[in-house]
Structure 1
C-alpha cells in the first residue's frame, strides 16, 4: 500500500460519513496586466480532476488547510477527503494527501514536517508553445520563430534562464513552438461574464488549442504547454496545471495561458511557468493584499527592477531561495539551519546567483514547534547582487530576508526594517548591508551583516546590539 494511502486512512478515521475522491490536483494562478488603471486582484483556483471524468472545485483556504503544504501537491495525483455535508449542502475539504510516488523528492526545510514531500523538478523539462487565434481575431502578433527563440540557450532566453536559476538542475532541451492554429470559436465563447467580471474558460481554451495542434505536436514527450492567444483573456495571464489525456498520456501538464502582453515579455511568461512548476506567489511585509510588490522575486514583481531586452522585453529576475529549495535545486551543503537559542555563529553567505559556490547560500532560522505543525514561522536568508543578465537592475547588493509560514500558505514575504514598510520592497529597509542587523518580529532571531566579501557577505547569527526603531524587523546601529 502506498504511503499516501496509509496517511489518508489515518486522517479519515475521524471523518464520519465523509467522501473520498482521487484524481489530479490542478492549481492555477491568475495574474493581471500591470498597466491596468486599477490592477485586478490576483486569482487562485484549486480543483481535483476526477479519475472518472469531471472536476470538483475546491475552496482555496480549505484546500490549503487540508493539505498543509498545498503547493507541494500541484500537478500530482491526490486523494481528497470531504467531511459531512453542512447545512448549505457543500462538503468541506478535510484532508488532501498525495497518492503518487514521486521519483525525486526534497523534504520540507522545517523540522517535523515529514507528512508531505515537495516533488523535485530535475533534468529535462521540455515545453511546447502552441499559438492559437480566436476565430474572430485575425492578428498574429508574433511569428512562431519568436516563440521558438524564447527557449534559446543564450543569455536573456528561457533555456538559459531556467538553467541559471536552477543551478543547472533543470533544462528546457527539446522545447519548441507551433502555430498559429485557428480556434473553433470566437473569443466571446471562451470569455464570458460571471458576477459582472470577465471569466475565461481555461479548460475549453486548453482543450481546443491542443486539439487544433494535435496533428503537428506530440504532447506525450513534454512537461509543460505554453499557450499563446492573440487576444486578451479575462484581464489575466494564467499559470498552473491542467490534467488531461494528450497523445495517449494521461497526466497533469504544467500549463500557461498567455495573452499578448504576457508573451511579449519573458518576465511574466517565466512567472506563469513558475506556477506551472507549482510555485506560489511571493510578497513583501507591508500587510496589504497586493502580492506583486517584492522585486526580489519574479514570482512576485516581474516588472520592477527588471532588465529590459530589445527582443524579449522585461527579463525575469531570479526566484527566492525557498522556492529554489522546494524544487530540489539547492544542495544540502549550501544550506544552514538554526534553531532558537543556537550558539552565536559567524559564516560566509555567498550570493545566490553563484552556481559554483562551496559556501552557504541559504540560511534557515527555525521557529519552535507548535501544536499545529503548519502555523509556525521560519525565515530564509540569502544574498543578492546586481549582476548578470537577469539581476543587474536589482535595487542593490544586500542580504535579503523572507518570512515563511503561518496561514497555510508557504509564501515568502521579504522583510522590511522601515516603519511603516514600503509599498514596494526595493527600498533600503528591505536590504541589509554591512554594519546593519535584523531582529525577527517575534524577537527570537537576530542576524548581523558584518562585512562584504568578494562572493557575498560575512554574517553572524545571534549577534546583538543596540536596537532602534519600532516593532517587527529592526535595524541595529
Structure 2
C-alpha cells in the first residue's frame, strides 16, 4: 500500500489515480552513433520531480530515512475495545521476522532491520472501525492511529532507541484491512514520545496474512523514498508485473530493481554503466540478485527519463522467477507513485502461459513461461539476439550474449533525448 501524503484525499485498499501510455511515433533516421562513448554514472541520475516518493536521486533524507546501515524497528501489537486479542503475540512476530533476512539479501547486506517486539497487547483507546481504514484513510486519520498506538505503548517502551515503528493489529480487528506507511511531515506537530519525533511507521492490516512478510519490505521501501510500481487504476500490475516488491508483493521476481538498488545506495556508482549522449556502449552485466559486478546499464533519454537494462537470474530472492534474461524498463522521475514511474518493456509479448500446469514440471528455471501464475510482464525479459528500440528517443538496447554469469548488452543512441 502507498505511503499517505499529507492532505491526501481518502485512501482505501483500492486506490484510484490516472495513467496513460504514449504510443511511439516515427522519426527521421539519425546519424550513425559514435562507438564506445560513455558517461559518468552521475550523468544518468535523474532528479525527483513529484515532491514525494519517486524515482529521482537526491532523496530528501529528512523526510525519508536512510536506506543503509541498521534500521532499529520496534514492533507494537495492538488490540481494540471492539476487537480484543485472543492469543499471544509470538505468532505475529514470527510472521514479520523473515522480512529482515529478505531485505538483507536484497540490499547485499547493506541494510539490516533490527526488529524488536514489545510482546504485550497494547489496547487502543478507540474502536477498530473508528479509524477509517474501511471508509478511506486520510493522512490525519492515519496519524491519529499512529499517535494512539504510541501513546498507549509509551509506558512500556523507550521510543528514543528506535528509528521506526511497526504497528500490528490483532487478527480480530477486521476493520484494519490494509497496510499503509506513515511518513514524516514537517508542517505538522507530528507524533512524539520520549523526546523523539516518530518520523516513520508501518501500520499493518489484515493483508499481512495474505501477502506475508514481504509486505514489510514493500512498506519499509516507502520509508526509504520508493514509490508504488503497481497501478492505482486499471489493471493492477500493468506496469512492471512481478519484477519488484514495490509492484506485485507476491510476484515471482520480487528483488528490487537495479535502479532502486542504485537510488538507495546498495549499488555503487562504479557498478553503473551510463550513456547520456549520442554514442554506443557495450556492457557486461552481472545479475542483480548477486553481489559484485556491473548491475545496470542506463541510457538517458531526457531530463527525467532513462532506459535501464539489467540482468536477472532465478537465484536468491528471485529463485521462482518466470523468465531469466535482460530486463529493460523505462524510468520517469516526474511520474507520480501509482501512475507508472517505471514501465517494463515486454521482450516476449507473444507468450501464452498455461496457468494450469505445475511450475516445477514444465520448464527449466531459466524459462518458466508455462508456470502457474506467470503471465504478461512476468515473461518480459529479453534474451540474446533480441533488440529493444524506442524511435521517439533514438534509444536502442541489443542483447548480445547471455549465460549463467550474466548478460552482455549494447546501448546506443544517435541523438540526445528530448529536453536535454
> Does the pair score TM above 0.5?
yes
Of 96, 100, 104, which aligns to 1:159? 100
Pairs within 5 Å for 1:121-160: 121-140=67-86, 143-149=88-94, 152=97, 157-160=98-101
3-state secondary structure, aligned to 2:247: coil
Q: What is the alpha-carbon distance in structure 2 between the residues aligned to residue 226 and residue 269 of structure 1?
A: 9
Q: Hey, what does 1:71 align to over in structure 2?
A: 52
Q: What is the alpha-carbon distance in structure 2 between the residues aligned to residue 192 and residue 362 of structure 1?
A: 39
Q: Hey, what does 1:241 align to over in structure 2?
A: 183
3-state secondary structure, aligned to 2:179: strand
Of 290, 295, 311, which aligns to 1:354? 290
Q: What is the alpha-carbon distance in structure 2 between the residues aligned to residue 232 and residue 300 of structure 1?
A: 24
**How far is the alpha carbon of 1:326 from its aligned partner?**
1.8
Judge conservation of contact 2:83–2:127 (CA < 8 Å) in 1: yes
**How far is the alpha carbon of 1:120 from its aligned partner?**
4.2
**How far is the alpha carbon of 1:136 from its aligned partner?**
0.7
3-state secondary structure, aligned to 1:354: coil
3-state secondary structure, aligned to 2:265: coil
Structure 1 position 328 matched with structure 2 position 265: yes
Structure 1 position 382 matched with structure 2 position 310: yes
Q: Hey, what does 1:48 align to over in structure 2?
A: none
Judge conservation of contact 2:12–2:133 (CA < 8 Å) in 1: no
Q: Hey, what does 1:398 align to over in structure 2?
A: 325
Q: Which has the higher contact order (CA 8 A, sep 6+)?
A: 2
Q: Hey, what does 1:4 align to over in structure 2?
A: none
**How far is the alpha carbon of 1:234 from its aligned partner?**
6.0
Q: What is the alpha-carbon distance in structure 2 between the residues aligned to residue 330 and residue 209 of structure 1?
A: 36
Distance 1:291 1:73, change over 3 A: closer
**How far is the alpha carbon of 1:447 from its aligned partner?**
1.0
Judge conservation of contact 1:31–1:236 (CA < 8 Å) in 2: no
**How far is the alpha carbon of 1:351 from its aligned partner?**
0.2
Distance 1:443 1:367, change over 3 A: closer
**How far is the alpha carbon of 1:32 from its aligned partner?**
6.7
3-state secondary structure, aligned to 1:303: coil
Q: Hey, what does 2:371 align to over in structure 1?
A: none
3-state secondary structure, aligned to 1:386: coil
Q: Hey, what does 2:343 align to over in structure 1?
A: 413
Structure 1 position 188 matched with structure 2 position 188: no
Distance 1:118 1:32, change over 3 A: closer
Q: Hey, what does 1:213 align to over in structure 2?
A: 153
**What is the number of residues matched between the two proteins?**
346
**How far is the alpha carbon of 1:119 from its aligned partner?**
6.7
3-state secondary structure, aligned to 1:255: strand
Q: Which runs of 5+ in 1 are unaligned?
A: 1-24, 34-39, 45-65, 75-104, 109-113, 307-316, 370-375, 465-477
Question: Deviation string for 1:364-401 (max 9, x for gaps)?
Answer: 110144xxxxxx4212221111112x211111211112
**How far is the alpha carbon of 1:354 from its aligned partner?**
0.9
Distance 1:126 1:391, change over 3 A: same
Question: Deviation string for 1:30-62 (max 9, x for gaps)?
Answer: 9976xxxxxx23589xxxxxxxxxxxxxxxxxx
Q: What is the alpha-carbon distance in structure 1 between the residues aligned to residue 330 and residue 10 of structure 2?
A: 23
3-state secondary structure, aligned to 1:162: helix
Judge conservation of contact 1:239–1:276 (CA < 8 Å) in 2: yes
Of 173, 178, 182, which aligns to 2:119? 178
Distance 1:118 1:442, change over 3 A: farther
Q: What is the alpha-carbon distance in structure 2 between the residues aligned to residue 69 and residue 41 of structure 1?
A: 18
**How far is the alpha carbon of 1:239 from its aligned partner?**
1.6
Distance 1:73 1:106, change over 3 A: closer
Q: What is the alpha-carbon distance in structure 2 between the residues aligned to residue 250 and residue 403 of structure 1?
A: 37
Distance 1:418 1:173, change over 3 A: closer
Distance 1:330 1:277, change over 3 A: same
Of 195, 198, 201, which aligns to 1:255? 201
Distance 1:363 1:28, change over 3 A: farther
Judge conservation of contact 1:71–1:279 (CA < 8 Å) in 2: no
Q: What is the alpha-carbon distance in structure 1 between the residues aligned to residue 10 and residue 72 of structure 2?
A: 23
Of 252, 274, 279, which aligns to 1:337? 274
3-state secondary structure, aligned to 2:191: strand
Judge conservation of contact 2:75–2:115 (CA < 8 Å) in 1: no
**Higher relative strand content:** 1
Q: What is the alpha-carbon distance in structure 2 between the residues aligned to residue 239 and residue 281 of structure 1?
A: 12
Distance 1:164 1:43, change over 3 A: farther
3-state secondary structure, aligned to 1:360: coil
Question: Deviation string for 1:251-299 (max 9, x for gaps)?
Answer: 52x2111112225611223211212222111248xx9463576200110
Alignment root-mean-square deviation, CA: 3.8
Q: What is the alpha-carbon distance in structure 2 between the residues aligned to residue 27 and residue 225 of structure 1?
A: 22
Distance 1:350 1:273, change over 3 A: same
